[in-house]
Structure 1
Amino acid sequence: MPMTPPSGPLCTRDSLVPQLQDLGLRPGETLLVHSSLSALGWVCGGAVTVVQALLDVLGPGGTLVVPTHTGDNSDPADWCNPPVPESWWAGIRATMPGYDPRTTPTCGVGRIPETVRTWPGALRSAHPQTSFAAIGAGAFAIVDGHAPDCRLGERSPLARLEEAGARILLLGAGFDSCTAFHLAEYRIAAPRVDVSFAVMTPGGRRWHTVRDTSISEERFAELGAAFEEEHPVVRGRVGGADVRLFALADAVGYAGGWLAAHRPRGGSGPSTPPENTVVHHPARVVEG
C-alpha cells in the first residue's frame, strides 16, 4: 500500500535554534510555551529535538514552562465528547488513579509538554487537573504552591509566571490555547463551581471535590485577535509553524478588561464541558 510522503519542512535542532533566536528569545528568560509539534513540519527527533532547541536558546539561567494538564482526572458526569454511560460514573469515581506529579501522564496537551514532564530535572506543580512542568533556574519558584482549589488563578503557576516577567510563545498554537487568559478570569466577577478529581493523600487515594472559579476558553481566539491589534506581539515562523511571542502580563491585563466587556455581566458562563480524553484542560490540544 503506498505511503504518504512526510510533509516538510525538515526541522533539526540546528535549524530551530536560530529561528527561535530570530524571534527575540533571550538567554535567561522565563518562557511559557503552548505548542503543536505537527505544525512545525517534519522534526528530526520529534518533541525531544524541540525541547532541546528551546533549552539551548534559554540557556542554563532560563526557565522553560509548559502546561501538563490531566483533564481526564475529572467527574465523568461532565464528560461529553463522547459521554460515558451513567452506570459507569460511580465506578470511575471509585477507581480513577490519584494524581501523582511524578508519574501521571499529560492528557490532550500534546507531545512536547509530555516530553518536558519526563525531562531530567523537570519539576511539576501539584494540581490534579491543571499542572504545569518547568525546567531550569526558576522551575521550583514557578511550580511551588499550586493549590487544589485554584486551577489557574492567584495560587497557580500562572501568577508566578506573571511575577517573573515571563513571556508566552505560541509555537504553532493559537490564542485559543493561551492558558494565561484564564488568570484574568479569576480577577473579574465569575461564578464558583464544584471541581472533582482523584488525589493521593497520606491515607491513600480518594475522590476529592473543591469549589473553584468557573473557567472557559470561549471566545479566546477573538480575545487574542483583539489583543494583538493593541499590544506588541512578535510574529514569525519556526519551521512550518506560525508563531507568536508576547509578554504574559500584557495578555492577562488586556484580557481582564476584554472579558469584562464581552462576556455576560457577573461571570464567564459555565466551566468548559470536559471530554473523556481531553477533560477540562483550558489549554486545548492543537496537534494531531
Structure 2
Amino acid sequence: MRATPARNYVDPMDQAQPHTAATLTGDLRALGVVPGDVLLVHASVKSLGFVAGGVQAVVEALLSAVGPGGTLVVPTHTSENTDPAGWQNPPVPEQWWPVIRSETPGFDPARSPSRWVGVLPEAVRAWPGSLRSGHPQVSCAALGARAGEVTAEHDLTESHGERSPIGVVYRLGGKILLLGCGHDSNTSLHLAESRQASPPRAETGAAIRDAEGASRWVTWTDLVTGEEDFDRVGAAFEETGAVAVGPVGSATARLMDQRSLVDFAVDWMACSRH
C-alpha cells in the first residue's frame, strides 16, 4: 500500500519538469518580487514540489530575485529556549525546571540552530555572509545589502516590536512572501499586536551566552502573542486586493507590502479583538 503523503507534499510524478533556481526566480519575478526588495520570507519548501538542488536552489532563487541590492530575511526562531514552566507539548516535570534553566546552552547567533520554522531559515542562517539578530527566542537572519540594518538591534523586550528585525523591515518598506504557507505563519502580524493600545505582557525567560562564553538564565517582560485569528486578519486583508497571489514552483505564494498589512492589522485587531 502506498503511504499517505504529508500535508503540502507534491508528488514528483505530477510535475512535467523539475523546478530549478532559474524557474523559481522567474516565478518570483512574475509574482512581483523586484531587485532591491527587502523580502521577509515564510516558506514550506516541500510545497514547491521537486526542485533540482533542493533548499539550496530555493535560497539561490530568492537571492537572485531580490538581486545584489536586495535583502532576504527569514525567522530563525529557537522556541525551545523558553521557560519550561510554560511548556505544554509536552510538559516536563517541575523538578526538571531548575536543571533546564541552569544547563541549557545560552543562545549564540552563530551556534544555535533554528527550530520549528522549516528548512529554509536554517539554510539562510548557515549561508556565507548571513547575519542574525541576537534575540534568544525569535531571532531573524538576513542576507544582502541591508542585512546589517535588519539584524543590528533586537531588544529582549521587543521580540516582535519596533526594536526588532520585523520593525526594521517595516521602516525599510519591505515585503512579505508567504511561500506555500498561510497567514498563520505571518510573523509581521505580531508587530500589529505590539501596537495595540494595551497589549498583554508577561514574564518570560531564556538561556543566553555572555561575552565570556558562559551561559546564564535571564528573565524579562514581553508581549504575549497569539496567532489564533491571523488567518482571519490575512483573509480580510486579501479582500482589499492588496495581496498578489500566484504560483512559485508547485506552491501557491502570496506577496504583500508589509507596512500596508501591519497598518491594516492594527485597525482590524483594535476593532475585532475583545
Q: Aligning the two structures, in what range does the TM-score lie when normalised by the shorter sequence?
A: over 0.9
- SS of equivalent to 1:51: helix
Q: Counterpart in 1 of 2:161?
A: 153
Q: Can you list the C-alpha shifts for 1:175-234, whole angstroms capped at 9, x where unaligned?
A: 001100100111112121011000011352100000112111121011100111124110
Residue 156 of structure 1 deviates from its aligned partner by: 0.3
Q: For 1:4-43, what aligned pairs fall within 5 Å after superposition?
A: 7-8=11-12, 9=15, 10-43=18-51
Q: For 1:1-288, what aligned pairs fall within 5 Å after superposition?
A: 7-8=11-12, 9=15, 10-188=18-196, 189-202=198-211, 204-264=214-274
Distance 1:21 1:130 in 2: 29
- SS of equivalent to 2:239: helix
Distance 1:117 1:231 in 2: 33
* Residue type at the aligned position of 1:109: V
Q: Can you list the C-alpha shifts for 1:41-98, whole angstroms capped at 9, x where unaligned?
A: 1122111110001111111111000000111100111111111222211111111110
- SS of equivalent to 1:42: coil
Q: Can you list the C-alpha shifts for 1:229-283, whole angstroms capped at 9, x where unaligned?
A: 124110001111111000000110011011111212xxxxxxxxxxxxxxxxxxx
- SS of equivalent to 1:194: strand
- SS of equivalent to 1:254: helix
Structure 1 runs (4+) deviating above 4 angstroms are: 1-6
Which runs of 5 or more structure 1 residues have no equivalent in the other structure?
Answer: 265-288
* Residue type at the aligned position of 1:62: G
How many pairs were matched up?
264
CA contact (8 A) 1:231 1:250 kept: no
CA contact (8 A) 1:74 1:195 kept: yes
Higher relative contact order, chain-length normalized (CA < 8 Å, sep 6+): 1
- SS of equivalent to 1:98: coil
Distance 2:59 2:176 in 1: 15
Q: Can you list the C-alpha shifts for 1:118-140, whole angstroms capped at 9, x where unaligned?
A: 00000000100010000000000
CA contact (8 A) 2:71 2:143 kept: yes
- SS of equivalent to 1:11: coil
Residue 2 of structure 1 deviates from its aligned partner by: 7.7
* Residue type at the aligned position of 1:199: I
Distance 1:202 1:250 in 2: 39
Q: Which deviates further from its counterpart, 184-193 or 111-120?
A: 184-193
CA contact (8 A) 1:34 1:171 kept: yes
What is the percent sequence identity of the aligned residues?
48
Distance 2:157 2:208 in 1: 13
Residue 14 of structure 1 deviates from its aligned partner by: 2.1
- SS of equivalent to 1:207: strand
Distance 1:125 1:227 in 2: 29
- SS of equivalent to 1:43: coil
Q: TM-score, normalised by structure 1?
A: 0.88
Distance 1:247 1:191 in 2: 26
* Two-structure CA RMSD over aligned residues (Å): 1.6
* Residue type at the aligned position of 1:43: V
Distance 1:226 1:159 in 2: 22
Q: Which deviates further from its counterpart, 67-76 or 4-13?
A: 4-13
Distance 2:237 2:94 in 1: 41
Distance 2:253 2:50 in 1: 16
